[in-house]
């Protein structure tokens, strides 16, 4: 099973020298691949004007990929090509590709790519062409997650009315797959839209990779928050279509958290590692959706804990993962000076242990208290459930029927009507 980690350069551009210094550490921890979430954080020579002011130049990006290769890490760029494509829509010359339209038919300033716009595949091909030299793992990830505006453009509405939402989505995936394979690349996508539109799975091309993500601890199957935290197992349908399955925990914090809740992060890691082993998953990807307020060191310690779990025959305990993370965070601290040697005549001093008991040097301190219960055990208690873990599941909403309004956030836009139900319109990712 491939072990991979992700850097969210689209949200926070780190100093290049700092990133280069981290790569050998990740290789030593046993990671195999580096996923780079980019958006407008890099320069695209074929699409001038997309990159932002502080973007990495092509030379910078080449240095990053070359250093990763020397460290033994293969690189997979993430090039969003449906949801999360505001980085393209914001560019005046590409705004007309927007799925969202004003009443007069003009494109709005915010939105996502329209799959059927005549220029969409042209732009997608240029992005893939610019990133292809950096796909050292032979793969490219095209995102497609949280594409909740499907069916808003007149062209999209017409096709959905004719063939249904599932076929509308699957046809676009097939067209992108053709672009990727033409460049010798295997294509990956996030799996959340496949949970929302499972009828699309049999229509997808064989040989894809689907990356299933859920960012809380779980016992058996990951859950779908927009289906009221109902369990969802995509593996049988994906296996029937010869689509590789990946499990994806998260190492960072949600929008309302000042820093990661490490017990939840470690519990999420352990849940996914166990599931990946049980399902013979192709890979285990520790995702990072980094708020710009969060230092990269905060997520690096979670990556260290994930590496510790993945390097053993069974998931490590929470306390062991915490120790690995603690060691990683203190790795760059200056070593303390060794204590001065005592003479033989020096009397044995008395010391106070952290739990307040007195003991003499050379005498073992009292046994520490038992470590706290693992996240899975805590998640089953009502008190912890009220804080952040998943509520008890209700029966999942049938994929072919609209989601109940009570399961949608109040601010969510209404999906376009079609023969199939549209995807639930809310973003659950901390992005």
Structural domain includes residue 305: yes
pLDDT of residue 293: 72
- Number of domains within the chain: 1
**pLDDT single digits (tens) 47-75:** 999 999 999 999 999 999 999 999 999 99
In this prediction, residue 32 has a pLDDT band, given cuts at 50, 70 and 90, of very high
Three-state secondary structure call for residue 62: helix
Structural domain includes residue 350: no
Residue 184 near residue 128, CB atoms below 8 Å: no
Structural domain includes residue 160: yes
Residue 322 near residue 331, CB atoms below 8 Å: no
Structural domain includes residue 417: no
The residue length of the chain stands at: 431
Q: Once rounded to an integer, what is the mean pLDDT over residues 69-86?
A: 98
Q: Which residues pair with 76 in a beta bridge?
A: 35
In this prediction, residue 430 has a pLDDT band, given cuts at 50, 70 and 90, of low
pLDDT of 401 higher than 70: no
Q: 154: domain range?
A: 2-329+375-407
Residue 230 backbone dihedrals phi, psi, to 5 degrees:
-70, 145
In this prediction, residue 296 has a pLDDT band, given cuts at 50, 70 and 90, of confident
Of 26-40, 43-57, 159-173, 331-345, which gets the smallest average pLDDT? 331-345
Long-range interactions of 100-106: CB distance < 8 A, separation 24+: 100/149, 100/152, 100/153, 101/152, 101/153, 101/154, 105/154
Of 117-131, 282-296, 343-357, which gets the smallest average pLDDT? 343-357
pLDDT of residue 379: 42
Q: Once rounded to an integer, what is the mean pLDDT over residues 392-406?
A: 38
pLDDT of residue 222: 98
**Strand positions, DSSP E, 202-353:** 209-213, 223-224, 230-231, 244-248, 283-286, 350-352
pLDDT of 166 higher than 50: yes
pLDDT of 357 higher than 60: no
Q: Is the dihedral of CA 56, 58, 62, 68 positive or negative?
A: positive
Residue 274 near residue 312, CB atoms below 8 Å: no
What would you measure as the largest C-alpha separation in the chain, in angstroms? 93
């449906």: which residue's tokens?
Answer: 82
Q: In whole angstroms, what is the distance from residue 388 CA to residue 391 CA?
A: 9
CATH number for the domain including 386? 3.20.20.80
Residue 215 backbone dihedrals phi, psi, to 5 degrees:
-115, 25
Q: For 172, what's the count of Cα atoms within 13 Å in the CB-facing half-sphere? A: 29
Distances in Å between the alpha carbon of 337 and those of 185, 340, 341, 350? 52, 9, 12, 21
* pLDDT over 70 percentage in the chain: 71
In this prediction, residue 308 has a pLDDT band, given cuts at 50, 70 and 90, of confident
Of 89-103, 110-124, 208-222, 341-355, which gets the smallest average pLDDT? 341-355
The helix (H) or strand (E) run that includes residue 36 is strand 33-37
pLDDT of residue 142: 98
Structural domain includes residue 145: yes
Distances in Å between the alpha carbon of 81 and those of 67, 88, 106, 139, 165? 27, 9, 21, 15, 18
pLDDT of 417 higher than 60: no
pLDDT of 243 higher than 70: yes
Look up residue 301 and give its two tokens: 């310690």
Supply the mean pLDDT for the chain.
80
More confident residue, 177 or 430: 177
Other Cβ atoms closer than 10 A to 11: 18
**150: nearest Cα among 427, 429, 425:** 425
In this prediction, residue 318 has a pLDDT band, given cuts at 50, 70 and 90, of very low
Structural domain includes residue 178: yes
Structural domain includes residue 286: yes
- Per DSSP, the chain holds a count of helices (H) and strands (E) of 13, 12
pLDDT of 42 higher than 50: yes
pLDDT of residue 259: 86
Structural domain includes residue 344: no
Q: In whole angstroms, what is the distance from residue 321 CA to residue 307 CA?
A: 9
pLDDT of 399 higher than 60: no
Q: Give the burial string for 197-226 (b: 16+ CB within 10 Å, else e).
A: bbbbbebbbeebbbbbbbbbbbeebbbbbb
Of 33-37, 186-190, 245-249, 258-262, which gets the smallest average pLDDT? 258-262
């Amino acid at each position: 099973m491939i072990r991979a980690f992700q850097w969210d350069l689209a949200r926070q551009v780190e100093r290049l020298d700092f990133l280069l210094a981290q790569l050998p550490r990740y290789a030593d921890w046993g990671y195999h691949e580096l996923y780079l979430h980019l958006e407008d954080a890099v320069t695209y020579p074929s699409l001038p004007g997309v990159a932002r002011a502080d973007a990495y130049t092509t030379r910078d990006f080449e240095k990053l990929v070359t250093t990763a290769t020397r460290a033994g890490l293969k690189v997979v760029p993430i090039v969003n090509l449906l949801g999360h494509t505001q980085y393209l829509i914001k560019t005046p010359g590409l705004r007309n590709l927007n799925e969202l339209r004003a009443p007069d038919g003009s494109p709005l300033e915010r939105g996502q790519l329209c799959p059927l716009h005549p220029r969409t595949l042209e732009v997608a091909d240029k992005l893939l062409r610019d990133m292809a030299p950096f796909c050292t793992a032979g793969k490219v990830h095209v995102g497609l997650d949280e594409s909740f505006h499907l069916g808003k453009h007149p062209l999209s509405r017409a096709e959905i009315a004719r063939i249904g939402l599932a076929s509308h989505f699957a046809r676009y995936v097939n067209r992108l797959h053709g672009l990727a394979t033409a460049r010798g690349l295997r294509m990956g996508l996030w799996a959340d839209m496949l949970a929302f539109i499972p009828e699309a799975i049999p229509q997808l091309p064989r040989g894809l990779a689907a990356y299933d993500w859920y960012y809380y601890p779980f016992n058996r199957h990951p859950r779908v928050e927009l289906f009221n935290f109902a369990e969802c197992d995509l593996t049988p349908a994906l296996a029937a279509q010869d689509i590789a399955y990946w499990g994806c925990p998260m190492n960072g914090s949600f929008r309302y958290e000042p820093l990661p809740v490490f017990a939840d992060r470690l519990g999420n890691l352990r849940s996914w590692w166990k599931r990946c082993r049980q399902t013979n998953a192709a890979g285990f990807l520790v995702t990072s959706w980094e708020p710009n307020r969060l230092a990269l060191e905060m997520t690096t310690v979670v990556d260290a804990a994930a590496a510790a779990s993945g390097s053993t025959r069974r998931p490590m305990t929470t306390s062991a993962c915490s120790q690995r993370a603690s060691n990683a965070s203190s790795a760059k601290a200056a070593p303390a000076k060794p204590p001065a040697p005592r003479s033989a005549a020096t009397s044995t001093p008395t010391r106070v242990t952290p739990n307040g008991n007195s003991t003499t040097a050379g005498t073992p301190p009292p046994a520490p208290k038992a470590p706290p219960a693992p996240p899975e055990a805590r998640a089953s208690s009502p008190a912890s459930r009220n804080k952040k873990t998943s509520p008890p599941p209700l029966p999942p909403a049938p994929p072919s029927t609209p989601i109940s309004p009570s399961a949608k956030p109040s601010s969510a836009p209404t999906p376009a009507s079609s023969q199939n139900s549209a995807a639930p319109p809310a973003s659950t990712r901390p992005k």
